[in-house]
Each structure stands twice: as structure tokens, then as C-alpha cells.
Chains A and B, each alone.
Chain A
């Protein structure tokens, strides 16, 4: 099926009207003229971008999802970011984070809980990548998952943890363009991070459909996932 015609149909029905209204990438709008950033590698139409996808520090619409293989400290297996032939959410977090990361993780959790309720949990994958390998131990991640109500027993969810700080910088900052910087807040007895809050939605063919900044409702992620799943069907 022609991808564009699908999207027009979906837009007409209002199915993806709310898609992608997040941070730097604007709401998806149907226009007579194709977006200058239309991509042959995506199923969803390009969102309103502030500039070309390559002008973003992180991968944006139509760009390749960087292929990186990282260990899942809970299962012990190695997981490649591009190994899933289905919509894949990737985000970047550390479990001691109090504000931004819980929003990112809860966004993914909202989608995970919903697809589980729908009986279709294998239609999507979730790959939160830690940039704090020192403290994001397997035990800490199990506790964190419990607090965030993430089902880590389902293999649609893999916490991924670079082996050490150097590898974390290399993967998260250099490869994915998601900047983070260690800080020592005066009112806290532990280090924290200044970091960007980014969620990527890749399409299962290795290309990014959406990159969200931290201001979103979990349904925004779900709506885009659902549109993508239907477009790929």
C-alpha cells in the first residue's frame, strides 16, 4: 500500500491528528505540498520540523536508527537497537533521575501497559538506554521497573546498559547525539545529570519516524505507534 495515501486516509479520519506535537517537532499537518523533509523510508508523514532532520543532534524523521549492540543487565543477553522487525521505542535515562527520566519511562510504560491489555505485546519493542552504568545495576533497575510499573518480564522491554562511562558517552552522546553531563547538586548527596530528554520511535526497518522531546503524553507515543503499526500491516 502506498504509504502516503494511507496517511491521508488516517489524517482524514483524525487518527493521527495529535501525532508528534512535541518539543522541537511540530504537529503533523496535512498539506497539499509534501513536506520538504518527506522520506521514502518512513511510513508516517514528516512532522513539522524546525529544520532538516540532519540539523538535529539526535536522529530525526527519515534518518537511520543507529545500530548499537548493548547488554541487557537483567537478562544477560546482548540486544541490538535494530534487531526488532517492529516499531521500536528508544530512550535514554538513569534511574536516580527524578523528573525528566520518569516522564520518558512512563511514556514507554503507558504504551507497554496498553498493548499488554490489548493482547498484542509483541507488536512493539522498548529500549531504554542507561547513561549511568555505575548506578544502574540490575537490582536497581528491577526496583526502578517495579516503581514505574514496567513489565521487565516481557521480552518487549530491554533496559540496555553500556559497559562503562566511556562506552555510555560513546553510545548515547556521540552515536545518538543525546547530550548528558554529570552534575553535583548542592542540595543532594549524589551526582545527577544535565541531559536531554529524548524518545525515538523507529519503524522496524531501521529508520526513525519520530523523535520526541520531553513534553508529551504517553498517548502521543501510542497514537504514533498505532498509526505506524497499521501502516506496516
Chain B
């Protein structure tokens, strides 16, 4: 089964954070997660005032819309080419899918939201960019992936595709089109 429903599986198992490694391994191990009941765990992250992004909150996956979540970090070298390819794909698919990039880097006295905004502008980001709180709730929901990882959810909030590393632009477009019909 290619289209995995990690979030549904976690939701069914109860408290997401406690769902455990079995769930994570299953997600990576071929996806026999239970997506039959269609339950979805959505996570709210704090959005940043940056290029193409407003300060506030967003809950992902976005209800009623396909959502592409990009887990990134400002220390991550491959995140720049990954961002380029996501941006190129986004140009093609228009507004059919909501893009959200999120980092869980610790905010401290030396590193704040403005530093994320600066990195975002320097690297060509042009959609909603968010900070994953102080508890990495979204990152944990995604199964603590390597960085960068792009995860596509369909309009029902089910995980449809994910890629760790630098995704090919054409692949991203194809995957998005397969959930936008």
C-alpha cells in the first residue's frame, strides 16, 4: 500500500505522542497503518511574519484542502534545493494545495522567529512558514523525519505521499495532481 495514513493510524492508537515506535516503524516499513476509520490528527503551528507568510497560526493538514507540509531547518544544506523544487512545483499547481514549511528549531535568545524569516527570504521561500512550537508536535506527528521531508496530505487529511531529501519537481507536481484530481 503506497498511500499511507500515518496520522489516521496515530489517531486510532490514542494519544499521538505515546503511539510509539511501532507506529513509526510501521510507517516507514511499508504502511500497514489503519486508515479505515479515517480519523485525522491535526496540529496547530505558529506562523511567522516572513515573505509570503503572515504571523498567526495554521492547523495542518488544512481542513478541506490538500496540504503539502515541508519539514525543514535553517541549518540544513539540502533544504535550499528542496525548497527550490517545491517552489517550482507550486508554480505549476497553483492554489490547489496549501504549502506549509515548518521548523522545530529551538527558539532562544540567540535565535528567533526573525532569523527564520531572514533564512526564508534569503532562500526564496514564498508561502506560509511556521515554527513548530516548543514541543515539536507537528514534527513528532510526522514521525520525526529526517530533514528535509515533504509530506502531502489529501483534502481529507490522509497522508498521500512523502519524500525525504530533495524531491523532484515533476514528482511533486504528479503527486499533488493525483490528490487534487
Contact between chains at B75 and A147 (CB < 8 Å): yes
- In the complex, chain B residues whose CB is within 8 Å of the CB of A220: 144
Q: Which residue of B lies closest to A150 (CB)?
A: B75
**Quick one: CB contact mask for A199-233 with B, threshold 8 Å, 1 for yes?**
00000000000000011111110000000000000
- Chain B CB within 8 A of A21 CB: yes
- Chain A CB within 8 A of B124 CB: no
- Chain B CB within 8 A of A53 CB: no
**Quick one: CB contact mask for A66-108 with B, threshold 8 Å, 1 for yes?**
0000000000000000000000000000000011101100100
- In the complex, chain B residues whose CB is within 8 Å of the CB of A103: 146-147
Contact between chains at B77 and A98 (CB < 8 Å): yes
What is the CA–CA distance of A17 and B19 in the complex, to the nearest angstrom? Answer: 10
- In the complex, chain A residues whose CB is within 8 Å of the CB of B109: 117
Interface residues on B, range: 20 to 34
Contact between chains at B17 and A113 (CB < 8 Å): no
- In the complex, chain B residues whose CB is within 8 Å of the CB of A214: 146
Contact between chains at B111 and A113 (CB < 8 Å): yes
What is the CA–CA distance of A215 and B27 in the complex, to the nearest angstrom? Answer: 13
Contact between chains at B144 and A113 (CB < 8 Å): no
- Chain A CB within 8 A of B123 CB: no
- Chain B CB within 8 A of A15 CB: no
- In the complex, chain A residues whose CB is within 8 Å of the CB of B75: 102, 106, 147-149
**Quick one: CB contact mask for A136-157 with B, threshold 8 Å, 1 for yes?**
0000000000011100000000
- Chain B CB within 8 A of A26 CB: yes
- Chain A CB within 8 A of B30 CB: no
Of the candidates B20, B24, B106, the one whose C-beta lies within 8 Å of that of A218 is B106
- Chain A CB within 8 A of B139 CB: yes
- Chain B CB within 8 A of A10 CB: no
- In the complex, chain B residues whose CB is within 8 Å of the CB of A26: 20-22
Query: Given that A21-B21, A98-B77 are known contacts, is A110 also in contact with B135, CB under 8 Å in the complex?
Result: no
- In the complex, chain A residues whose CB is within 8 Å of the CB of B18: 17-18, 27
- In the complex, chain B residues whose CB is within 8 Å of the CB of A116: 108
Instruction: Please give the residue numbers on chain A whose beta carbons come within 8 Å of chain B beta carbons, in ascending order.
Output: 17-18, 21-23, 25-27, 29, 48, 98-100, 102-103, 106, 109-110, 113-114, 116-117, 147-149, 214-220
**Chain A to chain B contacts (Cβ below 8 Å), 29 pairs:** A17-B18, A18-B140, A21-B20, A21-B24, A23-B21, A25-B21, A26-B21, A27-B18, A48-B21, A99-B146, A102-B73, A102-B147, A103-B147, A110-B106, A113-B108, A113-B111, A116-B108, A147-B75, A148-B75, A149-B111, A215-B24, A215-B144, A215-B146, A216-B144, A217-B104, A217-B140, A218-B106, A219-B134, A219-B136
